[in-house]
Amino acid sequence: MKLRESTLWPNDAAPAAAFCGDSERAKVVAAHGFDSLVDDSELTEIVRFAASLCDTPVALITLVESERQKFLAHTGVDIDSTPRSTSFCAYAMMKGDILVVPDATQDPRFANFELVTGDFGLRFYAGVPITSSEGAPIGALCVIDTAPRPEGLTDLQRQGLSVLGRSVKRRFQARREVRQHRAQFSRQSARFRTLGDWLPDIIWSADGTGRLDYFNARWEQVTGGAPPPDIEQWRTFVHPDDQERVFAAWTRSLARRESYETEYRLRQADGSWRWTIARAIPVADDDGGIARWYGTLTDIDERRRQADSSGTLAHELAHRIKNVFALISGLVSLRTRGHDELRAFGEDLVGTIASLGKAQDFVLPTGDSSRGDLRGLIAAVLEPFAGDMASERIAIEGDTAPVGSRAATSLALVLHEMATNSIKYGALAADDGRLAIELRIEEPEIVVSWVETGGRKPTPGGGGSGFGTRLIDMTMGQLSGTVERDWREQGLAAQLRLPVKRLAD
């Protein structure tokens, strides 16, 4: 702010430094929010100490306004203001240093003031000017006595009063900064709310315990109801069939302090239901606890409808592909019938087609919730090789990982070929043979351990370097994986390593 001399002050009151005009000064005063500092405990301590330091019955911290002088803190008097026209502090705040009046009755500037001539009987005054950071005069810290003091203040008292005056100034500035920060936060909050109200999603927040405390305007536009203050009120907007699942997930996220995501049907303003995805993330406080939750509700009803339509189409496609596989298998069996030299080839080919069919069933949405993971795929592909004693001949244990449509077909070929080799040359060729498969996550890979025992003694030539082995190696390469084989006397031990991310493709 540009400072300049004011015409509202007598020439003998003007300080050596320039000062701002009264209109600009009023703006500075208003920026501090002094009303909240009336009888402030810190300022009250300062005036009490000032009175004790200077051995005076009265001490004040004053704010000089346009018409009156307000006492922000005081000791020794019961009044809280006086007219500005008879204010000693109005003079003191314009000085660059302490204003000391040893005997007001002998000072022509103040001799006729009511505080001097009236019942109060002011005689001695000493005041430290208080200015803003811009240099605008605000008021003063003063001490007052009803007896004159020709000696004025001691050096220690002058120094102490100056130190206390700087403390008052810092308190004023701190209050101003708090007010500015709150105003800035209020403006930012208003901008955030305006932005939030324009977003197509419902935006909400909750405190660390999960108590809901904010919804943007979109909530009422969508649901037609008032924002719910708690979970129980929110529950009435969730479809009855979804409530148990939705709120169990929310309770779990609160307990574990982890992100929340679920889909449910949200009641609309017209009473209908639309699918919505709810997401929320926790925000930690300085102590590591949860300070707040911020979340969104996004309408996904159209997407769900499209997904349902796609699922119906996929079911029909799966059925037609299965018919094609059955037709090919039938043709192979028909063409090899009566040709003994082609029987083994035909049986292998039909088995391979069956494995491809298993993989195709596995990745298409046919409603089997066990599908979509590696253990499920292995079990599905190896089921025909286990015979009637599946639980004893083949054991599958350990971790699992998601399997996508592209990886499933290739991996099914690998598993089918390994099982075919086992039933021809390895453990599954003997009644006492066993196959143990263990899955183990070793990020970023999953390791499939294939261990055969109790069968024929394997030889590398028995499937170790033929077409099947080359097919396995080539397919594993396509999956960005590796395979290692150990032709032990007890049976084949192989280890397949597959990237988890690639497997999910």
Q: What is the DSSP string of 375-404?
A: HHHHHHHHHHHHTT-HHHHEEEEE---B--
Answer with the residue of higher pLDDT: 4 or 142. 142
Pairwise CA distance, residues 69 & 85, whole Å: 9
Lowest mean per-residue pLDDT among 48-57, 111-120, 200-209, 347-356:
347-356
Residue 371 in this model has a pLDDT that exceeds 80: no
What is the arithmetic mean of pLDDT over 159-184? 87
Domain stop point among 299, 332, 354? 299
Q: Residues 379, 246: one domain?
A: no
Q: Average pLDDT of the chain?
A: 81
Residue 4 in this model has a pLDDT that exceeds 50: no
- The CATH number of residue 275's host domain is 3.30.450.20
Q: What SS3 state is found at 422? A: helix
Of 504, 493, 491, 499, the residue nearest 455 (C-alpha): 491
Residues paired with 204 in a beta bridge:
215, 295
Pairwise CA distance, residues 315 & 306, whole Å: 14
Pairwise CA distance, residues 493 & 491, whole Å: 6
Residue 307 in this model has a pLDDT that exceeds 50: yes
What pLDDT score does 439 carry?
93
The two structure tokens encoding residue 460: 């590398």
Q: How many residues does the chain have?
A: 505
Residue 462 in this model has a pLDDT that exceeds 70: no
Q: Residues 124, 242: one domain?
A: no
Residue 325 located in a structural domain = no
Pairwise CA distance, residues 417 & 413, whole Å: 6
Residue 406 located in a structural domain = yes
What is the arithmetic mean of pLDDT over 92-101? 90
Classify burial at 103, counting beta carbons within 10 Å of its beta carbon; exposed 0-12, middle 13-18, buried 19 or more. middle
What pLDDT score does 46 carry?
94
Of 403, 400, 381, the residue nearest 390 (C-alpha): 381
Residue 144 in this model has a pLDDT that exceeds 90: yes
Residue 7 in this model has a pLDDT that exceeds 50: no
Q: What SS3 state is found at 164? A: helix
* Highest mean pLDDT (candidates 295-299, 337-341, 457-461): 295-299
Q: Residues 394, 496: one domain?
A: yes
Residue 142 in this model has a pLDDT that exceeds 90: yes
What pLDDT score does 11 carry?
37
Q: Residues 208, 247: one domain?
A: yes
What is the arithmetic mean of pLDDT over 173-180? 83
What pLDDT score does 26 carry?
77
Residue 168 located in a structural domain = yes
Q: Residues 295, 381: one domain?
A: no
CB distance 393 to 386 below 8 Å: yes
Lowest mean per-residue pLDDT among 354-358, 381-385, 437-441, 455-459:
354-358
Domain stop point among 279, 299, 319? 299
Looking at the structure of the chain, the number of domains it has is: 3
What pLDDT score does 3 carry?
32
> What percent of the chain clears pLDDT 70, i.e. is strictly above it?
79
Classify burial at 36, counting beta carbons within 10 Å of its beta carbon; exposed 0-12, middle 13-18, buried 19 or more. exposed
Name the band, by pLDDT with cuts 50, 70 and 90, for residue 339.
confident
Q: Residues 175, 243: one domain?
A: no
Residue 277 located in a structural domain = yes
- The CATH number of residue 153's host domain is 3.30.450.40
Q: What SS3 state is found at 242? A: helix
Answer with the residue of higher pLDDT: 287 or 335. 287
Q: Residues 209, 174: one domain?
A: no
Who's near 248: CB < 8 A, 6+ residues apart? none
Residue 253 located in a structural domain = yes
CA end-to-end span of the chain:
64
Q: Residues 402, 446: one domain?
A: yes
Residue 453 in this model has a pLDDT that exceeds 50: yes
What pLDDT score does 476 carry?
86
What pLDDT score does 350 carry?
64
Residue 427 located in a structural domain = yes
Q: Residues 39, 160: one domain?
A: yes
- The CATH number of residue 462's host domain is 3.30.565.10
Name the band, by pLDDT with cuts 50, 70 and 90, for residue 8.
very low
Pairwise CA distance, residues 388 & 16, whole Å: 108
Residue 426 located in a structural domain = yes
Which residue's entry shows tokens 């400072």?
3
Q: Residues 168, 204: one domain?
A: no
Domain stop point among 281, 299, 317? 299
Render pLDDT for 385-444 as a digit per residue (tens, 0 to 9): 765 444 578 889 999 888 887 788 788 878 878 888 887 888 888 878 889 999 999 999
What is the arithmetic mean of pLDDT over 376-391? 69
Render pLDDT for 191-238 as a digit per residue (tens, 0 to 9): 666 665 667 788 888 998 888 888 888 899 999 999 898 888 889 999
The two structure tokens encoding residue 191: 């901008």
Residue 135 in this model has a pLDDT that exceeds 70: yes
What pLDDT score does 359 carry?
54
Residue 42 located in a structural domain = yes
Q: Residues 143, 217: one domain?
A: no
Q: Residues 143, 261: one domain?
A: no
Which residue's entry shows tokens 């977003």?
199
Q: What SS3 state is found at 169? A: helix
Q: Which domain holds residue 420?
A: 372-503
What pLDDT score does 18 carry?
40
Residue 337 in this model has a pLDDT that exceeds 80: no
What is the arithmetic mean of pLDDT over 487-505? 88
